[in-house]
Structure 1
């Protein structure tokens, strides 16, 4: 059984993944349509990858914590 903190972390990580992917797709399309410089595309990519990395690390830690109980 997972603790409330683990469930909250999992829920937050899933929201971060959803928002990051939506922003990544939306801002990349908008940047291309508006003709923004490539450096902004790299900035958007790096920010979204950082958010996805944070979510992956937190989900891995919750998974490892749960794997040790069984």
Structure 2
């Protein structure tokens, strides 16, 4: 049980880091794109990458939540 809780804690930390890095990277890319007048297709690409990171984090968090509620 303690091993599972340790794994859950590590996965939650990873999800938190992914959320934070995705948000900071997304903000930075949006600023750089506006500053250097990049094409809109690059903004969409960065948006999709950020959404992918957020969805992945949501799925990991949901899986851990379900595992803890079923225990």
Q: TM-score w.r.t. structure 1 length?
A: 0.93
> Aligned runs of 1:30-45 on 2, under 5 Å?
30-45=32-47
Give the secondary-structure state (helix, strand or coil) at the position aligned to 1:3: helix
Unaligned runs of 5+ in 2: none
Unaligned runs of 5+ in 1: none
Return the structure number with greater relative CO, CA threshold 8 A, min gap 6.
1
Q: TM-score w.r.t. structure 2 length?
A: 0.92
Over aligned residue pairs, what C-alpha RMSD do you find?
1.2
Task: Extract structure 1 runs of 4+ deviating beyond 4 A.
Answer: none
Q: How far apart are 1:14 and its partner, in Å? A: 0.2
Deviations 1:20-66 (A, max 9, x none): 00011111011011000000000000001001100000000000101
1:24 match: 26
> Aligned runs of 1:56-67 on 2, under 5 Å?
56-67=58-69
